[in-house]
Amino acid sequence: MPFRVWPDMGPPGEIRYALIWRPPSGMLATLPNLKAILVLGAGVDSALDDPTLPAGIPVIRLLGAGMEDPMAEYAMYAVLHFQRHMHAYPRQQRDAVWRRIPWALAGEWPVGVMGLGVIGGFIADRFAACGYPAAGWVRGPRRQEGIEVFAGKERLKDFLARSRVVVNVLPLTAETEGILDAAAFAAMPRGSYVVNIGRGAHVVDADLIEALDSGQLGGAMLDVFREEPLPASHPYWRHPKVIVTPHAAAPTIVDAAERQIIGNVERLERGEPPLGVVDRAQGY
């Protein structure tokens, strides 16, 4: 199959499959014979954001595609960092202070994962396997062996209240935008932690900073932001309780993504349903 790299795509009518990550708004609408839109990532919020996105064409996302492991590594690192006070020891070292900070064992440190899709479910299993009481919050009813599942908006508060740390991997939709706000932080135990590897817009930034400053939250490790790159003037960069990483939790793994995308194009060519089709109304 000929493969063209935008903007050198030749006659737009020849393009049948578009592999995208944040294309300019309106670009896909110029392709009259498009059969499928394949997103080169797990999150499709930016693709669905385009009001000119052609209707009736499947939008397909990556399902894990090897990103589960690096995402889980990031989440594990963040949780261990906070659980074992690795954020506090550098301050002590600076002043040559020899003081052991008491910590809770994994079994006494409940971890909550927001989103139990391919990636979130994998992360929750990792925590459970390492002995953390692991729970997940999801939109609708779901079961996952060994994971306490809280389903629906009405269970969100209970989920937050039992979590010493919340790891967010939700898809960004109209329903989840700003879900990590002042009310959510207030529901968490005092001094707990937030790890965001979902999307920046899940967090109400001013509320997070306020919760950190008041001591309601002990710290946050953030990989995703409303504006990326995070502007140099943003208070997160210099906040003593925030660790900023540059959307680095899990890059798209080329080999695995390639296999999944080629598999889906082959399915479409055979007239079979592809895997990972996004429900546009639902937003993921």
Stretch that binds ligand OXD, among 35-43, 109-117, 227-235, 269-277 (CB under 6 A): 35-43
Task: Count the neighbouring beta carbons within 10 Å of the beta carbon of residue 249.
Answer: 24
The residue written with tokens 């062996």 in the block is 145
Stretch that binds ligand OXD, among 37-45, 212-220, 235-243, 273-281 (CB under 6 A): 37-45
| Min separation Cβ 264 and ligand OXD, Å | 16
41 is a contact residue toward ligand OXD (CB under 6 A): yes
Stretch that binds ligand OXD, among 36-44, 48-56, 126-134, 270-278 (CB under 6 A): 36-44
Binding mask 206-245 for ligand OXD (x = CB under 6 A): ----------------------------------------
37 is a contact residue toward ligand OXD (CB under 6 A): no
Q: Single out the residue of 19, 28, 34, 42 in contact with ligand OXD (rule: CB under 6 A).
A: 42
Indicate which residue of 142, 247, 267, 280 is catalytic.
247
Q: How many residues does the chain have?
A: 284
99 is catalytic: no
Size of the site for ligand OXD (CB under 6 A): 4
Decide if 229 contacts 235 (C-beta within 8 A). Answer: no
162 is catalytic: no
78 is a contact residue toward ligand OXD (CB under 6 A): no
Residues 157-186 that bind ligand OXD (CB under 6 A): none
43 is a contact residue toward ligand OXD (CB under 6 A): yes
Residues 245-274 that bind ligand OXD (CB under 6 A): 252
Q: Which residues bind ligand OXD (CB under 6 A)?
A: 41-43, 252
